[in-house]
Chains A and B, each alone.
Chain A
Amino acid sequence: MKFSYNWLQSFFNKKLPVPEKLAELIIGHAFEVEEIKKIGKDYVLDIGVLANRGSDCFSHIGMAREIAVILNYKFQVPVFKLTENKKINVKSLIKVVVENKGGCPRYTARVISDVKIGDSPKWIKENLEACGLRPINNVVDITNYVMLETGQPLHAFDQEKIEGKKIIVRFAEAGEKITTLDEEIYKLNEDVLIIADIKKPIAVAGVKGGKSPEIDEKTKTIVLESANFNPQNVRKSSKIINLKTDASWRFEHGLDQNLAEFAINRAAYLVQEIAKGKVAKGLIDVSAKKSLKKIIRLDLNYVDRLLGVKIPQKQAIDILKRLEFKIKAVKKTVKIIDVEVPAFRLDVLLPEDLIEEIGRIYGYENIPSVFPIAALIPPKRNLDVFWENLSKDILKETGFTEVSNYSFVSRKDAETLKFKDKDLIEIENPMSLEYQYLRPSLIPNLLKNIESNQSNFSDINIYELGKVFKPDKKEKEKRMLSAVIFSQKEKNDLFYQMKGTAEVLLNKLGISNIWNDGYQPTPEDSKSIIWQRGKTAEIKVGNEEIGFLGEISDKVTESFKIKGKVVLFDIDFEKLSKVASEEHEYRPISRFPAAIRDIAVLIPRETRVVEVMNKIETEGGELIRDVDLFDIYEGEELPEGKKNLAFHIIFQSDNKTLSSREVDELQEKIIKVLEKEPQWQVRKQ
């Protein structure tokens, strides 16, 4: 809220510190000051009044009270004397009926006759303008002025335009409409609290006045309204008609009921002085009941304990008194006091609230830094975080860069990858259509990363570890780990690079029983559109499938405008971290030399490497330390439909040196087994 420095000064006899200094003190003890601006001879302080202090500090009086406490100055609320005209009785001019007391705990009204509508005096105009309000006419300006001064919103009606001379506070009926002062038409419903005359709504309670009883230059008699509306009702109305005003903002934060009476008298007095009106005798006051006094018992030892500093009892009590709290009882022996909360402090309910008051005025800068004394309990190890960190490090070491994408996808992206509504969680109020759904997979945004980077990089290795979402009762969100390799160059080993990366990752996570199974998608599955047929595998650990590895289909890369091949793995990180292990055992190095023999096998193209390797390993038995495929060749020199595999076979024993005869015999056995297959042919070297 904007505050006028000169206006604040008017509550004090003593000179206030210069605006910058004053702002510093307010920041240190009460509120953030966002800006100080010079306007003419005045300064405007934009102060971020905290949401719990709306009830007393959205007003110059409230802010002056704060300043008085901080500076330890005396401040004076304006003193005025209202003179009522005995000849006119308010009850003969207007009747007020409050149908819903819950929505309107207090309604006060005054009638002023013979007013002369005109321009406001300069000082009112200046104060309004400093605070960002536009002067309209003297009566309307006075209602706004008193709102800025006291925090109580007021409204003025032209009494002659109120049908039946009766004001009714009630909920609107379905279908009722109102045209407001700014000529907007709003449709109302049963949840909107309104002010009505006997025919129609004349204001949306606590939000905005209606056009029909507007004050104009011909207005002679006015009805001033100063009411206390229920904050929740005002908030609801404001939401329903989608209109926020200075008044609704104040009511939403809650107001002291006593304020209504003070403010209406203050406004009536100013109308009398400025617009020369006659104030009718009597105040119409329809109120449910007076609010009860709040008394809080405070243990001053607790103040010291919570703040961590010893504040002298006298000083703590003095602070509360300056804030207009009343100290009801002080027990001499124990440091316990009973504190009565002033009615305007709706925010203070508990001892902790009082401690905050004492602490901030005492000054948080006076609280020392003291390390806590606590039992030496070592922090718990978080395995989820541990496996995440380890996986990220492994991928970094293998040349992958981590990205962090938005958790959202568009309908278009979801549709491109054939995600159905049943796979998607929709946002009720999305940022934009681009972010309409929670991401069901990390893949779409990774593909977008490739698209946006491909003009700068011909090779891209990236990954993301993050949450994906699906409308599943049991597992709405889970972590996935997806890595992608992209190349614009003609490379035919991208798949094997990715497979190798996945194997390094899993091995380093202590997982050894990894294998790949061919993937046969069902056509309606979203996966069937993502992955290229015949170039995709399931990643399995033991019997469990933990993810997929494969080339992204041309159709998908084309729709993401990617110019190159993309190979990706997509691993369920929740499953992965369950099978990951820190157990690791050293395997003794044999003291005896290893012998290496090479073997080349010509086999049909569609025969899998793993079949050949299995045969070699089974036949060689435990004397085979390793079988290493070092070349796969398909080419013109070979017979049609064939490929050539070349292996190093490493023979080694743990308890003796193998003679070359033994090795040759084993090698012969292996060759024989391989040649048993009718279509296989061993090419001896």
Chain B
Amino acid sequence: MTETNLESLKIEAKKEIENSFDLGQIGEVFRKYLGKQGEIARILRSLDSLPKEKRAEIGKQANDFKNFINLKIEEKIKELKEKSGKGSGGKEWIDITAPGKKPSVGHLHPLTLIRRKTEEIFQTMGFSTIEGPEIESVWYNFDALNIPKDHPARDAWDTFYLKDGMLLRAHTSPVQIRFMEKNNPPFRIIVPGRIFRHEATDPSHEFDFYQLEGLMVGEDISAANFKAVIQEFYRRFFGKPVKIRLIPSFFPFTEPSFQVDMSCVNCSGKGCPACKRTGWLEMMGAGMVHPNVFKYAGLNPKGLTGFAFGMGLDRLAMMKYKINNIRLFHSGDLRFLQQF
């Protein structure tokens, strides 16, 4: 037995293994080379007649050969099994179309999700989140916001009053005053929170709902700045470019005042039932902070400008998730809540 013999045997065996199509053929190759009557056994048996040094050398080569074949066969078997796609002989097959077992998880309220999203977007633009009390005084809810006593303007906020003369805040704007009393400009804040309006309910009106207030004050904050910030907010919130327009409005605490309309996200402004065929959706009230508001909050209005805005979070959630009835939010109906 010579080295060349073992070498050519190795090449031959390798070829045979590679050409095998199934486990049966592989078995045959195994038996041919490594079986009790196989080539290796034959070689090893023939060693007895050789000198001691030669015996050791050939013995080692035969062992290497054995390892080599074993490895090649193992690889081939793995390859064949993978090809068949059923693991070992199909015994471990599972029906991957059967439904998965879901771990029991809870759900966040859709308004919590919307609130987080708005907070996150404004935070990236440098706005801090501030909160305020839900029971308010007439001063913070009306007077300090320049909403005159005994004027029809006050009727725009249908308010719940408490027996002790306090009230439930009808908007988040009182927090503007509370914040400005304690902080000097420049600043950027948003104020999310519950508000209350004594209004008849219907699919688009609630009496206990959520608002998000915004306020940015500095030395040269302009309406153009407001446009940019709010457009960026809506673009990020809806995940696509949107158009906004400002139309004249009136709020006693801003001058000039705007109503902000956004191009309808349903029809991209072409006109559909959601936007009453106008192509626009009314999104929020806003404006440049009225100098009297700065005064009432104890700031000197000279040289100070800023914008403020307030939007309904329920309305945003309704648009985002295509919810057609605002009263679902407080319904506690799990068939609704577990969809979020």
Contact = CB atoms under 8 A, between A and B. Distances in A.
Contact of A449 (B201, B250, B332): B332
A559 interface: no
A171 B119 CA distance: 54
A309 B290 contact: no
Interface SS majority for chain A: mixed
A429 to B, nearest CB: 6
Given A32-B247, A399-B104, A306 B288 contact: yes
Interface string B105-149: 111110110001001000100111111011100000000000000
Contacts of B100: none
Contacts of B134: 407, 467, 477
Interface string B183-202: 00011100000101010010
A371 B225 contact: yes
A350 B293 CA distance: 13
A363 B232 CA distance: 21
A378 B124 CA distance: 9
B246 A367 contact: yes
B39 interface: no
B130 A308 contact: no
Contacts of B20: none
A427 interface: yes
Contact of B198 (A28, A350, A431): A431
Given A382-B129, A407-B194, A364 B160 contact: no
Specify which of B119, B227, B334 lies most central, judged by the most chain A CB atoms within 10 Å of its CB: B334
Contact of B208 (A53, A406, A448): A406
A462 B256 CA distance: 45
Nearest to B160: A427
B207 interface: yes
Contact of B225 (A53, A370, A384, A453): A370
Contacts of B164: 471
Contacts of B71: none
A499 interface: no
Interface in A391-427: 392-393, 395-408, 425-427
A614 B225 CA distance: 64
Interface residues of B, number: 79
Given A379-B126, A389-B116, A453-B334, A305 B109 contact: no
B231 interface: yes
A427 B163 CA distance: 6
Nearest to B201: A431
Contacts of B249: 50
Contacts of A376: 126
Contact of B222 (A231, A253, A370, A427): A370
A369 B227 contact: yes
Interface string A314-348: 00000000000000000000000000000000000
A571 interface: no
Interface in A375-392: 375-380, 382, 384-385, 389, 392
Interface string A423-450: 0011111110001001000000100110
A359 B111 contact: no
A566 B329 CA distance: 23
B131 A401 contact: no
B258 interface: yes
A252 interface: yes
A50 B152 CA distance: 10
Interface in A226-267: 231-232, 235-236, 249, 252-253
Interface string A279-319: 00000000000000000000000000111110000000000
A382 B130 CA distance: 7
Contact of B108 (A31, A402, A438, A452): A402
Contact of B106 (A27, A352, A461): A461
B151 interface: yes
A385 B162 contact: no
For B151, B225, B332, the residue with the greatest tally of chain A CB atoms inside 10 Å of its CB is: B332
Interface string B244-258: 011111101001111
Contacts of B330: 404-406
Contacts of A435: 207
B305 interface: yes
Q: Is the interface of B mostly helix, strand, loop or mixed?
A: mixed
Contact of B255 (A54, A350, A369): A350
A349 B163 CA distance: 36
B337 interface: yes
B216 interface: yes
B266 interface: no
B30 interface: no
Interface string A544-561: 000000000000000000
A26 B201 CA distance: 30
Contact of B332 (A384, A403, A408): A403
Nearest to A445: B332
Contacts of A428: 160-163
Given A359-B256, A385-B129, A52 B246 contact: no
Given A367-B227, A368-B224, A453-B333, A476 B135 contact: yes
Contacts of A373: 220
Nearest to A233: B150
Contacts of B305: 305-306
Listed residue (B107, B227, B256, B329) with the most chain A CB atoms within 10 angstroms of its CB: B256
A372 B221 contact: yes
Given A360-B256, A365-B245, A379-B188, 4 more contacts: A231-B150, A308-B223, A350-B255, A356-B248
Interface of A: 27-32, 50-54, 231-232, 235-236, 249, 252-253, 305-309, 350, 352-353, 355-356, 359-360, 364-365, 367-380, 382, 384-385, 389, 392-393, 395-408, 425-431, 435, 438, 445, 448-449, 452-453, 456-457, 460-462, 467, 469, 471, 476-477
Interface of B: 104-109, 111-112, 116, 119, 123, 126-131, 133-135, 150-153, 155-156, 160-164, 168, 186-188, 194, 196, 198, 201, 207-208, 216, 218, 220-225, 227-229, 231-232, 245-250, 252, 255-259, 288, 290-291, 305, 329-335, 337-338
Name the 8 nearest CB pairs between A and B, nearest first.
Answer: A308-B224, A308-B222, A356-B256, A449-B332, A50-B250, A364-B246, A372-B225, A369-B228
16 contacts: A28-B247, A30-B248, A52-B250, A249-B152, A352-B291, A356-B248, A360-B248, A364-B248, A368-B224, A369-B231, A372-B221, A374-B218, A380-B128, A404-B329, A405-B330, A452-B333
